[in-house]
Each structure stands twice: as structure tokens, then as C-alpha cells.
């Protein structure tokens, strides 16, 4: 079990309660409890522009769970590198994966001090499973790849699933592609990439206004077309059903009744040949 160099107390000192943060807005909107008034105000302003935001974010969280369950159950993946983990929200990625593969190892990565402050709840796996939390920034991939946690928990002779769920819309192009490649490059053949990220294709006016709410708070928000998201998977083999809105990816009963206009997220899973 590893927890970064900082204590929870030091992480708490770094939390900026004056500005809204993506992890905390998301936590508020999906119904969590680890956020501040400034995040409530941001989330409410966004939902006033687009009431379906809550459906969209919850469907994103469910996509993450279905994607990693698929990878663990059907593809036998036992190692996960999760970038942009967010605040703990049960079931977390390791809980879903370790139900299928109790010996799975998960390295969680986020750059928000509030996630570090709550990381204890991500480090609950029982042996033989392992989880670690790394306080690092996706825009500095070497800080991830060179970290002792990455090297200790992930065996690069075995497949690794790189999960980049609801974070790429905070990374502006053109850096996005190179950053993703840098993280994917060291992973062996038979590894996987799972991505979800924002699009405006299905409710353009409403989602543009939500994007403006993020930007007006100093949070970059990039929405991409299906073709632009598809480009992240170049050279990889998409798993069926390919790139879809997240509620259309291997749906279960929890997706019944959800319409395309309610979901602003595209998602896919692909294998590295």
C-alpha cells in the first residue's frame, strides 16, 4: 500500500476552497459528499444550463465500471493504471476489478490535493490485490512512469489496462495525443486503453454552455467530435461495439431509458496489438 510522499494533512493544506475544481464538481453532481460550496455553485450553474449533466456524469461512472469489469472478466487483465481517478465513489475501479481478479494491482493517479486527501479509501484492497495512489499530473507523464509505485506494482511483461476516464477533456490539444502515447508506449502487446471524454455532438447548444461554465472558472474544457476521439485509438484494435456514447457501450439495465441527448461522453476500449 503506497500513498505518495505527503500526509493527508499536507494535502488538505493545498486544497483551494475559493475556486471550483473538476474532481469536486463531479463529486457534487454525481451525488458524493467531498466538495465545497464553490463546487456546489458551479455544479448548479452547469445543471441550470443542462439538466442532463447529472445523467451524463453518472453514466460516465457506470461506463468506467463496465469497461474495467469487461477487461478483468473477459480479457483477464490484472494490472490497471488509472489516470484522473477522482474522489473515491463506491464502487471504485479496484473494487470492481478485484471482485473478478482478487490478485489485481491498480495504480491510481490524480493531481488534485482533495483526491490525495481522500486516497485512503482507494487503498482498501486485501492481499493478494494491491493498490497505490500517486499524486501526479498527466501532463508530466515521466513523473508517472518513473515513479517507484508504477515500477513496483506494474509488471511491464504482462498486459496493463490504461484507463483515462473523463480527464482528456481537461487536456487541450495538441498535447493530448503525445501524452496518451507516452503512457501507452511502455505497455506490452495485449495491453488495453479505455477512454471516455466529452463531446457536444448530441446536445450542442446545452453542452457548449456547460463548457463555458467550466472555462469561466478557469478550468479548461475541450469537447471533441467522434472522429477526434477516434484518433486517440489509432493503431489499436477497438473492442466491440467500438467508439460510442458511454451509455451505448455494452449497456445493461442501468442504461435503459437513457437517451442520446442526455449524454455528453464518448467512450471506447481498445487492445494494443
Ligand X SMILES: C[S@@+](CC[C@H](N)C(=O)[O-])C[C@H]1O[C@@H](n2cnc3c(N)ncnc32)[C@H](O)[C@@H]1O
Binding positions for ligand X, rule: CB under 6 A: 22-23, 26, 60-61, 64, 84-86, 109-112, 115, 137-139, 165-167, 170
Shortest Cβ distance from residue 165 to ligand X (Å)? 4
CB nearer to ligand X: give 10 or 128. Answer: 10
Name the minimum Å distance from CB 70 to ligand X: 16
Are 233 and 268 contacting, i.e. CB atoms less than 8 angstroms apart?
Answer: yes
The 3-state DSSP class for residue 150 equals helix
Which single residue brings its beta carbon nearest to ligand X?
A: 86
Instruction: Please state the closest distance from residue 143 (CB atom) to ligand X, in A.
Output: 10
Quote the CA–CA distance of 267 and 26 in Å, as a whole number.
17
DSSP assignment of 79-117, as one string?
EEEEES--S--SSPHHHHHHHH-TT-EEEEEE--HHHHH
- Residue 85 or 199 having the CB closest to ligand X: 85
CB neighbour list of residue 6: distance below 8 Å, 6 or more residues apart = 116, 135
Return the C-alpha cell found at 232. Answer: 486517440
- Judged by beta carbon, residue 124 or residue 190, the one nearer ligand X is 124
Distance of alpha carbon 264 from the chain centroid: 15
| Least distance to ligand X, CB of residue 137, Å | 4
Question: Closer to ligand X at the Cβ: 82 or 206?
Answer: 82
Smallest distance from ligand X to CB 29, Å: 9
Of the pair 4, 190, the CB lying nearest ligand X is at: 4
For residue 248, what are the CA distances in angstroms to 40, 149, 196, 208, 252?
29, 34, 12, 22, 9
165: which strand partners?
196
Quote the least distance from Cβ 265 to ligand X, whole Å: 9
Of 130 and 169, nearer to ligand X (C-beta) is 169
Amino acid at each position: 500500500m503506497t500513498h505518495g510522499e505527503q500526509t493527508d494533512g499536507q494535502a488538505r493544506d493545498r486544497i483551494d476552497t475559493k475556486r471550483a475544481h473538476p474532481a469536486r464538481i463531479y463529486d457534487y453532481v454525481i451525488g458524493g459528499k467531498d466538495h465545497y460550496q464553490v463546487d456546489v455553485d458551479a455544479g448548479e450553474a452547469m445543471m441550470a444550463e443542462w439538466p442532463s449533466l447529472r445523467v451524463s456524469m453518472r453514466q460516465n461512472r457506470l461506463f468506467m465500471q463496465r469497461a474495467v469489469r469487461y477487461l478483468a472478466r473477459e480479457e483477464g487483465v490484472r494490472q490497471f493504471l488509472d489516470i484522473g481517478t477522482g474522489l473515491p465513489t463506491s464502487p471504485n475501479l479496484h473494487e470492481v476489478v478485484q471482485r473478478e481478479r482478487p490478485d489485481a494491482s491498480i495504480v491510481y493517479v490524480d493531481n488534485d490535493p482533495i483526491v490525495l486527501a481522500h486516497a485512503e479509501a482507494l487503498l482498501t484492497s486485501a492481499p493478494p490485490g494491491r493498490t497505490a495512489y500517486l499524486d501526479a499530473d498527466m501532463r508530466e507523464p515521466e513523473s508517472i512512469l518513473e515513479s517507484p509505485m508504477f515500477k513496483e506494482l506494474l509488471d511491464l511483461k504482462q498486459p496493463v489496462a490504461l484507463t483515462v476516464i473523463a480527464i482528456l477533456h481537461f487536456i487541450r490539444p495538441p498535447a493530448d495525443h503525445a501524452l496518451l502515447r507516452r503512457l501507452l508506449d511502455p505497455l506490452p502487446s495485449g495491453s488495453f486503453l479505455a477512454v471516455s471524454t466529452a463531446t457536444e455532438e448530441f446536445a450542442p447548444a446545452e453542452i457548449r454552455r456547460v463548457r463555458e461554465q467550466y472555462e469561466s472558472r478557469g478550468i479548461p474544457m475541450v469537447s471533441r467530435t467522434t472522429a477526434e476521439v477516434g484518433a486517440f485509438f489509432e493503431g489499436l484494435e477497438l473492442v466491440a461495439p467500438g467508439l460510442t456514447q458511454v451509455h451505448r457501450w455494452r449497456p445493461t439495465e442501468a442504461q435503459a431509458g437513457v437517451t442520446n441527448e442526455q449524454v455528453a461522453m464518448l467512450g471506447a476500449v481498445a487492445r494494443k496489438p
